[in-house]
Structure 1
Amino acid sequence: MSARTTDVWARALTATLTTHADTATLNAARRLLTTTGTQLNINKGFATAKFPLADGRPVRPRLLVEELTEAQWDRIEAAIATHTPTPGIIGDHLADPDRTAGIPLLPSAHDLTHSCTCPAAPAGPCAHTLAVGLLLAERLRAAPAPLFTLRGRPYQHIKKNLRAQGHSTAAARVPSPHRAPTSPARPTADVAPFVPAQQPAPMPEPAELDLAAARPVLSGPLPPPPAPLPELPAQKALVADAAHRARALLAGTDQPTGTDTGSDLARFTALEHGAPFRQAAIDHLGLDVVAMGHLTLAHTHGGPAGAAAYLHRYTVDHDVLARAQADIQPLRPAPSATVECEDNHITDQAAGVQLRYGPDCRWHPYLAPYGPWQPVPGPDADPAQAYRAARTAARAFRRTR
């Protein structure tokens, strides 16, 4: 995206930061940016970085940004859908509050709070927090999407919601219980909870059977099972899946099932007996065909934890992200470029690499060769190894083009 279409975001934030800053502090902040290769971490509600003091000790300044409420974001999404022909494009028009339901995305000075661990941090902004703000402004010049994260709702979530609004209401409805071959889904941040259409009917009373009388051999197909039981093909698939897992358990090759429906559907639909239910899984999870393929890849490369890392976001301690960022720094082809940290994601846009920290305490590597982030082989507890795996996969992609 050219600077011409997004430069207003950077100019406006720079003006907000520098208008009331004293000259000495502002000059010191600019010197920090020219003398240190600082990386910017962007999260909901704050941006942070790390600068060395004269004695070598690090300081961690934070620029805190007031988050918008869920109700405000809902109004903004409705306005974006109305005023933006192509919702995936972020241009200068969204910097105008008239295009975002009268709610400004760009924070004012009253929306910003400066916090720093430096020994002589003033009541207002210090050189370190101003440097974080200037780094953020430069980041917005090339890719203003981080501003949405700072204000409380990552832009990829907004795009997903806008795409969902464009789907038919039939696709958005929850499938009937007999279509899904697995247990109900647990509510998560990204996957809608499964709500049964009706309460299961009570089990019928046992019938009187005459076991001594002769019975004819079955000469035709079985009648369909009564509602609310799954349809016969789904029951056969469930039996086949139970047999498959039993064989794997006996052979010692069984993997633990995922803790959520999405992870288990990725496992189930990758098997021969589950493949016919792939479209039902897509409808149930609210994914498209490409995303379902990526979910299958995530399970192939990383098991249930890999699928969970693809579907869900997790809150990770800042120190975990900072250590991982330091570990991958020597491997980065553009070491001075910004690294974006959001939830359990570390994104090196310059290298086209993303790492996602999964519930198995491993880093799962991703590339974006065709637009969306795609899982690649090589999850590892060592973020440097996972980063190397992503770079190796990137070279393989380039050779095949």
Structure 2
Amino acid sequence: MSVQHTTAGWARALTTALNAAADATVMDAGRRLLATGQAGPLNVNQGFATSKFPLPDGRVARPRLNVTTLSEKEWDCVVDAIAARSDAADIAGTAAISDQLTDPAHTAGIPLIPAPQDISHTCTCTPHAATSPCPHSVALGLLLADRIRTAPAPLFTLRGRPHQHLKKRLRTHQSATGPREACPGPLQAPNATPAQRTTSSPTIDPTAPTIPARPAKPAAPIPEPVDLDLTSPRPVLSSQLAPPPSPLPDLDSLGALAADAVHRAGTLLEGDELPVCPDVSSDLVRFVTLPHGAPFRQAAMDHLGLDIVGMGHLTLAYTYGGPDGAAVYLEPFAVDHDVLARAQADIQPLRPAATATVECKDNRITDEAAGVQLRYGSDGRWYPYRSPYGIWQPVPGPSADPAEAYRAARAADRPHRRAQ
């Protein structure tokens, strides 16, 4: 019988760690503060999470939850352990990561949930809160726990490696090249003998006789030049090539890859720059927008988990913003709340309903009343979106100035309003 995958265990495990890191009085105060609904947007980065809360004197408290990140070696061991599972794509291939992975037995003995000693709190509310938990920083931790109850991906970022790294590994089924070091101590068998716990590096006996080096082989002579006949016709293949053996791509895919290499070489020869794709998914949409990649559009949709409408919107995102625009469409990511706060202040004079609620979440600012959404990209530009039919879709006009991107979204929405 298969085990049902749930995600609620992430929130319970993090809440337990928070309870151990702060006393009960402060935890209760943090819960009451969170219940008021005054928390600002949650921003998750590698090693820390932030938010903000209004204070009675008009100031703003900016709590920060600091968490020890895992090392690159530890993350490699965790990813290898997850990728080795037959159900890896099901339990970790989407934002709904199974809470089975809260058990270190499934992550190479390395816990993804931080231990109480891995958690520290700071806040600007009082000098004392800079060194010990306060209700604001505890409320921030509880806000994070509530967020990962259904989508635990931010916890991966908090611990040092965004979840999309694991998703890419699972999508491509690529193993790391070259041997890796052994995983850290907790991964070794607790009952192993000292001899078994030693590394596999060979020891050198200084009394052993040395083996003389073999003499180098003489270099092969350079052949004499040959006259080539470049004018006479040459025979072509009289039949189709045999299909390549598994796991190589089929002949159609190899032909498309060759055509793409020719296209990229031609672009460079013409003096144009090649688009720099930040990830495999944005490079995939670049590929299918070209004539030689168009036949693989359905395969790309299946790979990215998009329907025909979503693929159309992704193509528009690439057309308007290039690879970074496509990456912004595909997956949200966390940015510092100060970036969102500055952008919100810049667009405030342009909003038709100035008192309506603006939602700031991940890298997105949503003005639902105006039908406008701005998404911040890794290239420092804001990408405008509108939702004429209830689904956010990209429109032209990305800009480093959020006000300009907001104007572009409003301008793109005018033809639709006139049509109504």
- Asked if the contact 2:11/2:146 (under 8 Å) is kept, the reply is yes
Find the counterpart in structure 1 of residue 383 from structure 2: 364
In structure 1, how many angstroms separate the alpha carbons of the residues matched to 2:28 and 2:329? Answer: 43
In structure 2, how many angstroms separate the alpha carbons of the residues matched to 1:300 and 1:73? Answer: 35
One-letter code aligned to 1:46: F
Find the counterpart in structure 2 of residue 179 from structure 1: none
Instruction: Return closer, same or farther for 1:269/1:9 CA change in 2, 3 Å cut-off.
Output: closer
Q: CA deviation at 1:8?
A: 1.9
Find the counterpart in structure 2 of residue 9 from structure 1: 10
Instruction: Return closer, same or farther for 1:22/1:5 CA change in 2, 3 Å cut-off.
Output: same
Find the counterpart in structure 2 of residue 134 from structure 1: 142
Following superposition of structure 1 onto structure 2, how do residues 11-26 of structure 1 map, counting pairs within 5 Å? 11-19=12-20, 21-26=22-27
The reply to whether residue 346 of structure 1 matches residue 364 of structure 2 is yes
- Asked if the contact 1:347/1:353 (under 8 Å) is kept, the reply is yes
Following superposition of structure 1 onto structure 2, how do residues 54-65 of structure 1 map, counting pairs within 5 Å? 54-65=56-67
Instruction: Return closer, same or farther for 1:323/1:266 CA change in 2, 3 Å cut-off.
Output: same
Q: CA deviation at 1:125?
A: 0.6
In structure 2, how many angstroms separate the alpha carbons of the residues matched to 1:92 and 1:352? Answer: 35
Find the counterpart in structure 2 of residue 378 from structure 1: 396
One-letter code aligned to 2:160: G
One-letter code aligned to 1:80: I
Instruction: Return closer, same or farther for 1:157/1:332 CA change in 2, 3 Å cut-off.
Output: farther
Find the counterpart in structure 2 of residue 173 from structure 1: none
Could you tell me the TM-score, scaled by structure 2's length?
A: 0.57
Q: CA deviation at 1:347?
A: 7.6
Q: CA deviation at 1:132?
A: 0.5
Find the counterpart in structure 1 of residue 79 from structure 2: 77
Find the counterpart in structure 2 of residue 33 from structure 1: 34
- Asked if the contact 2:277/2:324 (under 8 Å) is kept, the reply is no
Q: Secondary structure at 1:275's aligned position in 2? A: coil
One-letter code aligned to 1:119: T
Q: Secondary structure at 2:6's aligned position in 1? A: helix
The reply to whether residue 121 of structure 1 matches residue 138 of structure 2 is no
1:139-174 deviations in Å (ceiling 9; x for gaps)? 12222221111111222221111111179x9xxxxx
Q: 1:151 pairs with 150, 153, 159, which one?
A: 159
Instruction: Return closer, same or farther for 1:57/1:239 CA change in 2, 3 Å cut-off.
Output: closer
1:11-47 deviations in Å (ceiling 9; x for gaps)? 2222222245344433332332233142211111111
Find the counterpart in structure 2 of residue 321 from structure 1: 340
One-letter code aligned to 1:321: L
Find the counterpart in structure 1 of residue 111 from structure 2: 104
One-letter code aligned to 1:34: A
Find the counterpart in structure 1 of residue 97 from structure 2: 90
Structure 2: give runs of 5+ residues left out of the alignment.
178-224, 237-256, 297-302
How much identity, in percent, do the aligned residues show?
45
Instruction: Return closer, same or farther for 1:367/1:96 CA change in 2, 3 Å cut-off.
Output: farther
In structure 2, how many angstroms separate the alpha carbons of the residues matched to 1:40 and 1:149? Answer: 13
In structure 1, how many angstroms separate the alpha carbons of the residues matched to 2:357 and 2:62? Answer: 19
Q: CA deviation at 1:63?
A: 0.1
In structure 1, how many angstroms separate the alpha carbons of the residues matched to 2:258 and 2:150? Answer: 54
Q: Secondary structure at 2:125's aligned position in 1? A: coil
Could you tell me the TM-score, scaled by structure 1's length?
A: 0.59
Find the counterpart in structure 1 of residue 201 from structure 2: none
One-letter code aligned to 1:107: P
Q: CA deviation at 1:80?
A: 1.9
In structure 2, how many angstroms separate the alpha carbons of the residues matched to 1:261 and 1:222? Answer: 40
1:154-200 deviations in Å (ceiling 9; x for gaps)? 22221111111179x9xxxxxxxxxxxxxxxxxxxxxxxxxxxxxxx
In structure 1, how many angstroms separate the alpha carbons of the residues matched to 2:274 and 2:128? Answer: 47
The reply to whether residue 301 of structure 1 matches residue 320 of structure 2 is yes
One-letter code aligned to 1:92: D
Equivalent pairs, count? 317
- Asked if the contact 1:6/1:141 (under 8 Å) is kept, the reply is yes
Instruction: Return closer, same or farther for 1:279/1:332 CA change in 2, 3 Å cut-off.
Output: farther
- Asked if the contact 2:374/2:402 (under 8 Å) is kept, the reply is no
One-letter code aligned to 1:154: P
Structural RMSD (CA): 5.3
One-letter code aligned to 2:50: T
- Asked if the contact 2:373/2:385 (under 8 Å) is kept, the reply is yes
Instruction: Return closer, same or farther for 1:114/1:358 CA change in 2, 3 Å cut-off.
Output: closer
Q: CA deviation at 1:363?
A: 0.8
- Asked if the contact 1:37/1:336 (under 8 Å) is kept, the reply is no
One-letter code aligned to 1:95: T
1:341-399 deviations in Å (ceiling 9; x for gaps)? 3xxx3387x9996713253x43124699xxxx997223443546757949x89xx9xxx
Q: Secondary structure at 2:133's aligned position in 1? A: coil
Q: CA deviation at 1:320?
A: 2.2
Q: CA deviation at 1:79?
A: 2.1
Structure 1: give runs of 5+ residues left out of the alignment.
170-204, 208-217, 224-230, 247-255, 281-286, 397-401
In structure 2, how many angstroms separate the alpha carbons of the residues matched to 1:115 and 1:289? Answer: 40
In structure 1, how many angstroms separate the alpha carbons of the residues matched to 2:259 and 2:97? Answer: 46
Instruction: Return closer, same or farther for 1:332/1:16 CA change in 2, 3 Å cut-off.
Output: farther
Q: Secondary structure at 1:10's aligned position in 2? A: helix
Instruction: Return closer, same or farther for 1:127/1:238 CA change in 2, 3 Å cut-off.
Output: closer
In structure 1, how many angstroms separate the alpha carbons of the residues matched to 2:292 and 2:341? Answer: 44
